[in-house]
Amino acid sequence: MKSTTNFYFFGSRIATHCIFWVLYYILFGLIWAGEEGYLASFYLEFILLPTRILAAYITLYYLLPQFLLKKKYIGFLLGYATVLILGGILQRIFIHFFYEALLLNDSASGLFSIRMLVRAIILINTTVLFLLGIKLFQLWAIEHEKNNRLEGEILEIRSNRKTHRVPVENILFVEGLGNYVTFHLKDKAKITSYASIKGTLEQLPSHFRRVHKSYIVNIEHIKSYDALSIDIQDTSIPRGKSISDDVLLN
């Protein structure tokens, strides 16, 4: 199920990103204008913008999904610190060679002055944290909408020329069988439908997790688990080797 919440201008992610960075560039060009004038300020923001964009997108599209959302907090913090430090160093190089030395004829502050390096890191950090906050809110809103839509809702399952109306909370787990899936219910009933395991997962709320190439489980009904299997009611379901304990938790 797709979210009906639209976070993008004109329904386009690319257009929204372009608008944001243009407005960001104009705003900071105006804010940081000093004695050198607006032209120098906009030039400085122009040479610094690629570094901030790179740091933001590495955080949003790599560190966030690969570490933070998977609750690998140490990995996320180490990766984030690395991005900030490398971004700060790169930004200092651009400022030193393409702004201070070129426009101001001033290299007195030094290429890697600690004060200037910390300032560069703080500026990058402020931008990335702002965008990370927006992204986390977006993910929360999408998940909240999905859960509200499906909580207590009836899932319609087409099987044997009939449409079965099943409360989502009554589904214990789903078993994939080639081009078919079988829904296992609380009352031990089974409903087999023509569908893929991947497509079925997209129709279910977030407390349904894929734990094996052929199984989706409702984690609210898990009785116990170990490294090889997951027990739901009186059924033992195989657990994929790559499935961490975090996947089985709310």
Does the pLDDT value for residue 141 go beyond 90? no
Helix (H) or strand (E) holding 157: strand 154-159
Tokens of 2: 């797709």
Task: Provide CB contacts within 8 A for 224, sequence distance 6+.
Answer: 230, 231
pLDDT band at 4 (very low <50, low <70, confident <90, very high): very low
Annotate 66-82 with DSSP letters as a single string: IIITTT-HHHHHHHHHH
Dihedrals phi, psi of 105, to nearest 5 degrees: 50, 45
Distance CA 205, CA 203 (A): 7
Question: pLDDT at position 62, please?
Answer: 95
Tokens of 42: 């906009």
Distance CA 240, CA 237 (A): 10
Does the pLDDT value for residue 2 go beyond 60? no
Q: What is the pLDDT of residues 79-126, one digit of tens each?
A: 999 999 999 999 988 888 877 766 655 555 566 678 888 988 999 999
From residue 145, give the alpha-carbon distance in Å to each of 58, 139, 187: 27, 10, 29
On whether the CB atoms of residues 205 and 144 are closer than 8 A, the answer is no
Average pLDDT for 215-232: 92
Q: What is the pLDDT of residues 17-37, one digit of tens each?
A: 999 999 999 998 898 877 778
Comparing 6 with 175, which gets the higher pLDDT? 175
Q: What is the pLDDT of residues 50-92, one digit of tens each?
A: 999 999 999 999 999 999 988 899 999 999 999 999 999 999 8
On whether the CB atoms of residues 197 and 181 are closer than 8 A, the answer is yes
Question: pLDDT at position 5, please?
Answer: 54
Give the torsion through C-alpha atoms of 209, 210, 214, 218, to 10 deg.
Answer: -10
Comparing 75 with 169, which gets the higher pLDDT? 75
